[in-house]
Amino acid sequence: MISLNENNTKYTIGIPRAISYYGNYPFYYGYFTALGLEIVLSDKTTSKIINEGCKYVVSDTCLPVKVFVGHVLNLLEKGCDTIFVPSLQSSSYKINNCSKIRGLPEIIRNVINRPFRIIDPEINKTEGISFKDFCYDFAHRFEIYDEGFIEKAIKKGWEVYNNYHKMALMGLGFEEALKNAIEGKMITKPIEIVRPLSVVIMAHGYNLYDERVSLRLIKKLEKMGVKSYTSLNITKEDALKAIEDLGEIQYWANELDLTGTAAYYMLRNKVDGIIALSAFGCGPDSLMVEEIQYHAKQRNMPMIHINIDEHTGEAGFVTRIEAFVDMLVRRKRKALEKSEVINLLHTVAERGKITAKAGKQNQIEEEIKI
């Protein structure tokens, strides 16, 4: 039972590749297509999309919202006249999104003065508007009322989402896990990549997995021999528990991706450092980053905070990352010298095997060289 529009063809819905796309798109894809809708995605973020978005909002709006506006304009350019701008108020009771995400449908309505239809179902668990209400509201906008059909489509949405999440937990990056989940593919073996150094990145998905916005941070670190852990590598339950273990409480809806993820890896001492990537002008991030900075300092864990906006240049960005990684290398080398190398030298000296000593030293130097 698929509802058709007045031209007797499938309804089409445009999805901006921004904000909730990063995180929820696997569900949107499974659910919307099972309802019989045709999805049009905006293009991947480019400088042009960002610049266009910037023209429509005041300059102190945060970068992700400017990017979102740019993606809506991109969809309009493609001839898409029905655009999905969900009204995401709170994800749990009194766990809220920031005011800009909460007001996103209104922002779009007010800044883009063109004729198009906004599909803005609401989720607001604080006010008793559940995820199920959100899904039903969405379906009703396309004149789909059959409960059995809607339930089946919701199930399909969760199926795609859960497969995506499982693959991300196994070590696949955002793009790969998403592509596989959409194509109905599954990987069953965890991917373990060992690198000489590792960091945890605390960031919103829309800042980190959008390669133009994050300036390909994860790939840059990989090239430097640094493994990155992100919120994709842990469950929401683990992230929430880590916030509690830190003696803090969750306030913001996106907090698990930031405070929760950083806390999880920091408390387990699983990483050599923390990178906080946030958008200039973001209120929630400034509080969450400050909180983690405080705890990192207590634990002598190196941390860098990188603020991004539409003017962030690649050269300065790379210099800061390189300097941070350089410092991590020096720390690791020093720690190794103190423990493993000194122990090794003692052992070697006792046995009088001078050549083995030099060989092992070189090997250790090699391992931490980037």
- Tell me which of 279, 303, 306, 308 binds ligand SF4, using CB under 6 A: 279
Element (H, E) at 197: strand 197-202
Beta-bridged to residue 98, according to DSSP, are none
Give me the residue label for tokens 């860098």.
Answer: 304
Q: Does 16 bind ligand SF4 (CB under 6 A)?
A: no
Q: Does 217 bind ligand SF4 (CB under 6 A)?
A: no
Q: How many residues does the chain have?
A: 370
Supply the minimum distance, in Å, between the C-beta of residue 334 and ligand SF4: 36
- Tell me which of 255, 257, 272, 285 binds ligand SF4, using CB under 6 A: 285
Q: Does 107 bind ligand SF4 (CB under 6 A)?
A: no
Q: Which stretch binds ligand SF4 (CB under 6 A): 23-31, 95-103, 168-176, 216-224?
A: 95-103
Q: Does 291 bind ligand SF4 (CB under 6 A)?
A: no
Q: Does 325 bind ligand SF4 (CB under 6 A)?
A: no
64 versus 171: smaller Cβ distance to ligand SF4: 64
- Tell me which of 23, 26, 105, 284 binds ligand SF4, using CB under 6 A: 284
- What are 101's two structure tokens? 């995400």
Q: Look at phi and psi of residue 253 and say left if phi exceeds 0, alpha if psi is from -120 to 50, else beta.
A: alpha
Closest by CA position to 116, among listed 210, 8, 3, 16: 16
66 versus 125: smaller Cβ distance to ligand SF4: 66
**What is the 3-class SS of 82-98, one letter each residue?**
EEECCEEEEEECCEECC
Q: Does 65 bind ligand SF4 (CB under 6 A)?
A: yes
The DSSP output letter for 342 is H
5 versus 99: smaller Cβ distance to ligand SF4: 99
Q: Which stretch binds ligand SF4 (CB under 6 A): 98-106, 122-130, 299-307, 332-340?
A: 98-106
- What are 325's two structure tokens? 């990684």
Strand pairing category for 303-308 and 273-279: parallel
Supply the minimum distance, in Å, between the C-beta of residue 335 and ligand SF4: 35
Q: How many CA atoms lie within 13 A of 33 on its CB side?
A: 16
Q: Does 98 bind ligand SF4 (CB under 6 A)?
A: yes
Supply the minimum distance, in Å, between the C-beta of residue 309 and ligand SF4: 10
Cα separation, 65 vs 102, in Å, equals 11
CA distances from 91 to 7, 31, 123, 134 (A): 37, 19, 7, 12
Q: Which stretch binds ligand SF4 (CB under 6 A): 30-38, 93-101, 109-117, 178-186?
A: 93-101
Beta strands in 19-176, from DSSP E residues, in sequence order: 38-41, 82-84, 87-92, 95-96, 117-119, 122-124
- What are 199's two structure tokens? 């960091």
Q: Which stretch binds ligand SF4 (CB under 6 A): 52-60, 97-105, 157-165, 305-313?
A: 97-105
Are the C-beta atoms of 262 and 294 separated by less than 8 Å? Answer: no
Are the C-beta atoms of 1 and 146 separated by less than 8 Å? Answer: yes
Q: Does 308 bind ligand SF4 (CB under 6 A)?
A: no
Q: Which stretch binds ligand SF4 (CB under 6 A): 51-59, 62-70, 192-200, 315-323?
A: 62-70
What is the total count of residues that contact ligand SF4 (CB under 6 A)?
Answer: 12
Binding site for ligand SF4 (CB under 6 A): 62, 64-65, 98, 100-101, 204, 279, 282-285
